[in-house]
Structure 1
């Protein structure tokens, strides 16, 4: 097992928290000016990218250069792609729900119905309520979920086959996310598909190819930390939390509650795997 620079990593936790907070505060200022808090969805992927880059710079004299570069590039590719996808959807080129995943509904313009419902409960200022409940909470989640991205960059010694397996799993995840999002966006551009259930392409094998892709991305990044037992112990909380969010939290569970109202969804759910890709039943 390779060594792990505990002291330097502890300092980096503060730097990464500042990076995540900075992205969220800048996004909050933009949202207040635009009068729409849905822009925070774009910041999710960018905040992870900022954490990865800040950690890469901070770990320059500590971790293995190859591993540092690998985990930073993989995180940035995932984060920037996700942010670009959600930004395009927000300009009206597609429709979605949540972080741009699932069958979705939503609107290309105006406030996201989720945030409108949340902020309608604000006891005082809607903006200050949004800052506490949305931006600071998401910043905390970015910091927590990004722990393997941070920890991997403080491992000394060369990468092993386990790290290579992690990169391969990440690639599988990116494939499912990217292709799934593209297939759904193309499906929704056809007016004839309005109100219909997307059951083509990757969506034939899983009801949530992009949630499954997210799952693979974060377990893949975690595997890159497994060259060090200490780093793996720190980073394992990330894929566990992300898996719970995707399957039990704001992902699959909430989306399917909405989708259950659509004609044909029960039949689609009956023949299609709920998460892991499987042949249609």
Structure 2
């Protein structure tokens, strides 16, 4: 039954990403793929919490945590996509691929597969039949609240910085961005520990590790930091290089003294 539920998640993701691929052809804005990815995960959390056969407490926690996370992130990204020009990462890909829509379609389908990968931790929770533990639930919710609060604050600080025309071409070093070049990514990764804790006792507990590892690898070495920093170097040059020398890439820590 868990396999059928996950297949349905993948089929939905493929259908939605196909529609989003067509939308980006019409709008020439591939940023909608990020919006769709986040919203699809929110929907997946809600669907799997209903389809699962695990203890009700775990499924309610999944619906609240996974659903809220996905929809908050999706709506935040939608506001950015609707009010800003196409993200520099996707402009670079559009130029690099010479607008080849076949390559864009393949990229969007890869995002659909990633929806399935990140839905695996949700499934581990939804099929957890172990009796609930207040300590376990409390620990998971504490991690979730810290991750949501940190990511929301980082997003707000960056949006406020970028809203001032005088900051155009400058690097945000305010608030959490003083201690990490990507605090939003760090807290997004931290969020996946929630489902590791909630899935303790589940026969599919190891599914929860997929999301945690996949998110860490993706953010640090594949779709996250490498693309964002390459674009930042193209647009901000030496100012961003100085930021790289003084500030941790991922884990928040005190900045170092600049030594060019």
Q: Which bracket does the TM-score occupy, shorter chain normalised?
A: 0.7 to 0.9
Q: TM-score, normalised by structure 1?
A: 0.81
C-alpha distance in 2 between matches for 1:225 and 1:271: 38
The answer for the alignment partner of 1:279 in structure 2 is 254
For 1:134, which of 100, 107, 116 is the aligned residue?
107
Query: Do 1:259 and 1:265's aligned partners in 2 also have CA atoms closer than 8 Å?
Result: yes
Query: Residue 187 of structure 1: CA displacement?
Result: 0.4
User: In the superposition, relative to structure 1, how do residues 35 and 207 fare at CA in structure 2: closer, same or farther (>3 Å)?
Assistant: closer
Q: Which TM-score applies when normalising by structure 2?
A: 0.87
1:148, 1:258 → 2: CA distance? Answer: 31
Inter-CA distance 212–83: structure 2 relative to 1 (3 Å threshold)? same
Shift of the alpha carbon at 1:158? 2.8
Aligned residues: 253
Work out the CA distance in 1 between the residues paired with 2:24 and 2:226: 27
How far apart are the structure 1 equivalents of 2:95 and 2:61? 40
| Higher percent of residues as helix | 2
Please list every run of at least 4 consecutive aligned residues from structure 1 whose deviation after the TM superposition is greater than 6 angstroms.
none
Structure 1 residue 38, shift from structure 2 partner: 3.0
Name the counterpart of 1:270. Answer: 245
Cα distance change of structure 1 residues 151 and 118 upon mapping to structure 2, 3 Å threshold: farther
Q: How does 1:158-169 map to 2 (within 5 A)?
A: 158-160=131-133, 161-169=135-143
Q: Which residue of 1 aligns with 2:174?
A: 200
Q: Tell me how far apart the structure 2 counterparts of residues 201 and 171 of structure 1 sit (CA, whole Å).
A: 19
Q: Does 1:84 align with 2:75?
A: yes
User: Could you list the runs of 5+ residues in structure 1 that have no partner in the other structure?
Assistant: 1-7, 98-104, 107-111
**1:184-217: CA deviation from partner (whole Å, max 9, x where unpaired):** 1110111111111110111011110110011101
How far apart are 1:95 and its partner, in Å?
6.9
Look up the match of 1:188. 162
> Which moves more between the two structures, 233-242 or 159-168?
159-168
After superposition, give the CA deviation of every residue in 1:141-179 in whole Å (9 maximum; x if it has no partner): 110111011121011133333343232222222122111
What is the root-mean-square deviation of aligned Cα atoms in Å?
2.2
Q: Please list every run of 5 or more consecutive structure 2 residues that lacks an aligned counterpart in the other structure.
A: none
Residue by residue over 1:258-277, the C-alpha shift from the partner in whole angstroms, topping out at 9 and shown as x without a partner, is 32352322332232222111
Kept in 2: contact 1:46–1:80 (CA 8 A): yes
77-86 or 203-212, larger mean C-alpha shift: 77-86
